[in-house]
C-alpha cells in the first residue's frame, strides 16, 4: 500500500530492447482494470515525490506507470539527490545529469516507449489501449514524441513545464505533429528559458496547421519545474492548476473506471 488510501504501489521491471527498466506502478486497490497512464519523469528522475504524484493520479481511477527512463545508467536514482533540490545552490546536480539526458536520443527513447506501452497492454491491472501520457520537464518532450510514434495507442498527452518542445533542430519534438491523433494539453511556465514565447508560438502554429486537438496555457509567474514539490521551483497554485487540467483531459479521453 501507499500513503494514499485505496492505492497500491509497487516497484516493477520492464524488459526493453536494451535491458531492463526499473519503474513504479500505482493502481487502485480494487481488483479492477483501470485506464492506463504513462507518466514520464522530469530530469531529476524516479523518486518518492514522483511516486506520490502517481499515487494521487491512481486515486482518481488510473493505473499509472512511471519508468526510470535513465535505466541504461543504473537504477533510480541514477545520481545522488538531496531531499530538497535547489539547482542554484547545487549546480553539480545538473552537471551530472546533462550528459545522461543528452544520451537519451529520440531513437532509443521511442524504442523504450514501445516497451512501456507493451508492458501496460499486458498488465492485468490496466486497460492497455488507448492510454494517456503525462510528461514533466524533459518528460513532456518524451510524451509528445510517443504520441507521434504510436498514434494508435495514445489518446491523450499532457505536458507540463516542458523545455525544447519546438526548436529549429531537425529532430525537434513538434515536428511529429502531423502523426499525432491524441488530444494534447500543455501547461507552460512563463518563467521558463527553455520554452520561450517564440517556441510556444511555433508549437501552437504547428499543432493548428496539423489539425491536432490541443490547448496550450501559460502559467503566469511559474518557474520551470513548478509541479515538483521537492524543488526550489515548486509553485503550489500552479501545481493545483496542473492537476485539474490533467484530470480534465484524462477524464474526457479515457473515462476512468
For the chain, which domains are there? Answer: 7-254 (3.40.50.1820)
pLDDT digits (tens, 9 = 90+) for 71-104: 999 999 999 999 999 988 888 988 999 999 999 9
Q: Are strands 154-160 and 183-191 parallel, antiparallel or unpaired?
A: parallel
Residue 192 annotated to the active site: yes
- Which residue in 42, 55, 192, 239 is the catalytic one? 192
Active-site residue, 214 included: no
Q: Give the mean pLDDT of the chain.
A: 96
How crowded is the C-beta side of 97, counted as CA atoms within 13 Å?
A: 19
pLDDT in tens, 121-180: 999 999 978 999 999 999 999 999 999 999 999 999 999 999 999 999 999 999 999 999
Of residues 137, 174, 188, 214, which has the active-site annotation?
137
Per-residue buried b or exposed e for 179-209, using 16+ beta carbons within 10 Å of the residue's own CB: ebbbbbbbbbbebbeebeeebbebbbebbee
Beta bridge partners of 159: 135, 186
Which of 224, 230, 235, 239 does the annotation list as catalytic?
Answer: 224
Using CA atoms, how far apart are residues 150 and 173, in angstroms rounded to an integer? 14
Task: Look at residue 257 in the predicted model and tell me its pLDDT.
Answer: 59
Amino acid at each position: 500500500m501507499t500513503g494514499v488510501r485505496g492505492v497500491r504501489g509497487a516497484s516493477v521491471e520492464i524488459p526493453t530492447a536494451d535491458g531492463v527498466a526499473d519503474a513504479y506502478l500505482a493502481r487502485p486497490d480494487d481488483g479492477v482494470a483501470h485506464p492506463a497512464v504513462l507518466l514520464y519523469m522530469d530530469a531529476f528522475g524516479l523518486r518518492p515525490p514522483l511516486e506520490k504524484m502517481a499515487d494521487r493520479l491512481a486515486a482518481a481511477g488510473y493505473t499509472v506507470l512511471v519508468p526510470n527512463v535513465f535505466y541504461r545508467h543504473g537504477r533510480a536514482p541514477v545520481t545522488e539527490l538531496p531531499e530538497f533540490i535547489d539547482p542554484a545552490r547545487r549546480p553539480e546536480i545538473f552537471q551530472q545529469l546533462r550528459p545522461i539526458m543528452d544520451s537519451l536520443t529520440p531513437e532509443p527513447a521511442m524504442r523504450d516507449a514501445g516497451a512501456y506501452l507493451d508492458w501496460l497492454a499486458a498488465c492485468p491491472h490496466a486497460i492497455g489501449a488507448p492510454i494517456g501520457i503525462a510528461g514533466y520537464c524533459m518528460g513532456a518532450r518524451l510524451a509528445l514524441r510517443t504520441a507521434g510514434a504510436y498514434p494508435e495507442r495514445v489518446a491523450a498527452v499532457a505536458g507540463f513545464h516542458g523545455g525544447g518542445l519546438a526548436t529549429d533542430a531537425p529532430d525537434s519534438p513538434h515536428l511529429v505533429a502531423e502523426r499525432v491523433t491524441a488530444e494534447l494539453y500543455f501547461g507552460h511556465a512563463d518563467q521558463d528559458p527553455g520554452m520561450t514565447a517564440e517556441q510556444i508560438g511555433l508549437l501552437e502554429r504547428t499543432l493548428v496547421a496539423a489539425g491536432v486537438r490541443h490547448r496550450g496555457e501559460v502559467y503566469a509567474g511559474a518557474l520551470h519545474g513548478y509541479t515538483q514539490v521537492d524543488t526550489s521551483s515548486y509553485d503550489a497554485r500552479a501545481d493545483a492548476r496542473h492537476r485539474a487540467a490533467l484530470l480534465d483531459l484524462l477524464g474526457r479521453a479515457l473515462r476512468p473506471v
